[in-house]
Amino acid sequence: ESEQRHRSIFESTGVSIWEQDFSGAKAVIDELKAQGVRDFRQYFAAHWDVVRRLDRLVRVLDVNEETVKMFRAKSKADLLASLDKLRTPETRATFVDLLVNIAEGWTSREGEITLQDLEGRQLTALFTITFPPTAKGFERLLITMIDVTQRKHAEQRAAQAHAELAHVTRVTMLGEMTASIAHEVNQPLAAIVADANASLNWLAAAPPDLESVRGALDAIVRDGHRAGEVIQRIRQLASKGAPRKDAVDLNDVVRDVVPLVRAELRHQEISLMLDLASKLPPVLGDRIQLQQVLLNLVMNAVEAMGTVTGRPRRLIIRSEPDDDDHVSVAVQDTGIGIAANHLDHVFSAFFTTKPGGMGMGLSISRSIIEAHGGRLWTTPNRPHGAVFHFALPVAKGPYPTKVG
Ligand SMILES: Nc1ncnc2c1ncn2[C@@H]1O[C@H](COP(=O)(O)OP(=O)(O)OP(=O)(O)O)[C@@H](O)[C@H]1O
Ligand SMILES: [Mg+2]
């Protein structure tokens, strides 16, 4: 009777259930262990023949109706006859994982697996598997699966929408900064023209003053690079690419952003102080997005100081190791500060106190920081102004590095 009840639950439940015989595989694994194999992950990576053999040893005994539906098979028999078609290149990696779990004596495992239905559509499923305490139970392992393909797609669409929003606001912000950026490019260009004119005169003199020309040419090269770098940074910020995960030094992010705002700071008579830790461990993330966050915070600080009179307008950007596994950056201003009743809202989308503000800066910044596994928050500055902080987890190497 209990077997009967078991069967009816097996058939009627809304999750896919698989009964599989892992006893043959378990026996081989135990034998390998007896022979002294310890690091099974490494062993399987080096012995694909063994993995293939174990694969053939595992047998599917039964599946329930939900499984037939999930894989778009005509019937249970149809599905059981076409198991090979369900695999994708990632399926084997998951299988190897499971073998390692068994070898290491795990009691249960859950995870995501990518499969294919019989109509060739890719399918992402959440699976759970419980390993019995004794070898005996491996003859009939139960694996349950829930189709999360739709949710996965929704997550991907949300991530994509987020990246696009970040891009749009970035470009908007660059648009607003055009005047100040143009100034930052114009200045070296003007210096180049002046130096070149002077050089023409030095060359026309008799005898030509080559020493001065050489000095001027050095300055021209320097200024040309300076202008080029600003343009390069803007192009990067305006570009649209998939979010990256590189080892990023937050001090570099600060140095990337400063040239873009320098003219604006000068124009508003704001003094800038950089207080950067001499050596910061890298974080893992997207350098452009982190530049965007910092630019947002700095522009907010500049705007908060726009109406301030009778006290110094001072911007401090500070970086420091936060604790063992975080680094933090703080942007501190002496502006109007945040009213107590606004504190809960400044990070909300579309909250703004500025005429012409969009109210997206902090909301986007927070989601970027959180997508990097970090935190973004604000504290009051004494006696005036606000401080915005973000902390990001330190990258655990080895990590990919990006040059340039
Ligand atoms: N440094 C700061 N000092 C005081 N108030 C601030 C500061 N930074 C942000 N705020 C407050 O938080 C609000 C939201 O900031 P947020 O950057 O999200 O939008 P915004 O600057 O108004 O518009 P935009 O989308 O153009 O950035 C601001 O309107 C302002 O009231
Ligand atoms: Mg803003």
Top-confidence residue, 170 or 96: 96
Domain residues of the chain, as ranges? Answer: 2-147, 149-242, 243-404
Q: Indicate whether residue 363 lines ligand 1 (CB < 6 A).
A: yes
CATH of 149-242, one of 1.20.120, 2.20.28, 3.30.110, 1.10.287: 1.10.287
For ligand 1, the distance from its centroid to the CA atom of residue 288, given in whole angstroms, is 20
Q: Indicate whether residue 302 lines ligand 1 (CB < 6 A).
A: no
Q: How many Cβ atoms sit within 10 Å of the Cβ of residue 278?
A: 6
CATH number of 243-404: 3.30.565.10
For ligand 1, the distance from its centroid to the CA atom of residue 325, given in whole angstroms, is 29
Q: Indicate whether residue 301 lines ligand 1 (CB < 6 A).
A: yes
pLDDT in tens, 336-358: 999 999 999 999 988 999 988 88
Helices and strands per DSSP (H, E), number in the chain: 13, 12
For ligand 1, the distance from its centroid to the CA atom of residue 96, given in whole angstroms, is 50
Task: Look at residue 174 and tell me whether its pLDDT is greater than 60.
Answer: yes
Lowest average pLDDT, out of 108-112, 230-234, 295-299, 327-331, goes to: 230-234
pLDDT in tens, 237-261: 888 877 788 999 999 999 999 988 8
Are 313 and 304 spatial neighbours (Cβ–Cβ below 8 Å)? no
Share of the chain above pLDDT 70, in %: 98
Strand partners, 141: 20
Mean pLDDT over 164-176 rounds to 83
What is the predicted pLDDT for the residue at 320?
96
- Taking the CA of residue 349 as reference, the ligand 1 atom at the shortest distance is 18
**How would you classify the pairing of strands 246-248 and 375-380?**
unpaired
Ligand that lies nearest to the alpha carbon of residue 357, given by its number in the listed order:
1
Q: Position 142: which residue type?
A: L
For ligand 2, the distance from its centroid to the CA atom of residue 362, given in whole angstroms, is 6
Class of domain 2-147: alpha beta
